[in-house]
Amino acid sequence: MKIKILLYEPHPKAMRLKLFIPYEMTHLRAKIKAINGSYWHHNQKLWSVTNTKTNWEFLKKLIGENLEIVPFKTTKKMIKTPIEQKEYEEVLALEKVLVIKRYSPSTIRSYKNFLGVFLSAFSDKKTVDITAEDIEKYIHDLVLNYGISSSYQNMLINSIKAYYEHVLNRERTFYRIIRPKKEIALPNVLSREEVQRIITFPKNLKHRAILTLIYSAGLRISEAINMRVEDIHSDDGYIFVKAAKGKKDRKTILAASLLPLLRDYYRSCKPSYWLFEGQTGGQYSVVSIRAVFRRAVAGTNSNAWATVHTLRHSFATHCIENNINMRHVQVMLGHNSSKTTEIYTRTVEINNKKITSPLDTFNN
């Protein structure tokens, strides 16, 4: 039986082609590794290259008869039914409660959307008559027939839970609905060299300052756009993060090497209140920061799967590699539990340049 290289037919809009290369095929793996933009996905044990017609043809010619193309499997597309006036009023009732409870705008928006999807599926039934069994059957159907993700499933359950608890004042036991098994996925992390290339790529001073600040302090993208000029405490060497995730204030490190860049940016752009302002004033947008980051990733041929949040993951991992106390890392990231921070101990790069095997201590 011939050993095959599996090429997974991508989604029509996918940016990458993924391949499974058997361990024995070292010569072919080396050639695919040499393709510009190739990447090894450790968790999936797959290689990928940029999804272009040129790469398609190159792979078919390179691999030849050893290539097996795995067809792309489509899942049924969920049909969104417009909600009626009754359901719309229930969605507004949830929104009112969440606003009073000071949930973030993005969370409120998500909960409203998911509750609307849920209520439209039970439009023929009074909401108060929907049982926990009805809800579990509905979610089971979504998982089985539409292949919804674990995060989609959890967010749907959270929105239902919020509605029944905060609007209908039901007991907690009512919505004790089965949740998906928690995935323990490792955060995506960039190497130090990749980070340096990405944050120094932008020619625009503001863009370079934003990316450098996010990495150097381990910030979320929302924390960067909410940063005020007064939050940079250069004399005391820290950055104040106001009302971050969970409405928590915290302090994080102000890198000494970041200060000259921030001062150059301040002298050039003269922000008045927000540290990073848009062209017409007000806060800089999340969309703009993501666009800046994507251009930097593409321009430096870095990990194509990286996002702005990957800079935060990389900051945490590099801190641990630098032997910074875990408690300090936890405080800088704003984690409630040390268990959340400990995930980064699993992303530390392991090789024989950093760690000595006990075998190397034996006397020859």
What does the pLDDT read at residue 313? Answer: 93
Place of tokens 């980070």: 195
Nearest to 112 by CA among 150, 167, 75: 167
Q: In what order do the strands lie in the sheet with 232-233?
A: 232-233, 238-241, 250-253
Residues forming the active site: 220, 245, 309, 312, 335, 344
Identity of the amino acid at 43: N
From CA 72, how far away is CA 41, in angstroms rounded? 19
Q: Mean pLDDT, consecutive 10-residue segments, the chain of 364 residues?
A: 77 82 83 83 79 85 84 68 82 93 88 91 84 86 83 89 88 63 72 93 95 95 93 93 84 93 93 88 90 93 88 92 90 89 78 61 64
From CA 156, how far away is CA 150, in angstroms rounded? 10
What's the number of CA atoms in the CB half-sphere (13 Å) around residue 110? 15
Other Cβ atoms closer than 10 A to 183: 8
Pairing of the two strands 16-20 and 46-50? antiparallel
Nearest to 187 by CA among 325, 354, 322, 317: 317
What does the pLDDT read at residue 308? Answer: 95
Nearest to 124 by CA among 94, 92, 86, 165: 86
Q: How many residues does the chain have?
A: 364
Sign of CA dihedral 126, 132, 133, 137: positive
Output phi, psi for 299, to 5 deg.
-70, -20
Nearest to 118 by CA among 97, 98, 148, 96: 148
Domains of the chain by start residue, with CATH: 5-70 (no CATH), 85-175 (1.10.150.130), 192-346 (1.10.443.10)
What does the pLDDT read at residue 91? Answer: 92
Output the six-digit token pair for 80.
Answer: 């969104």
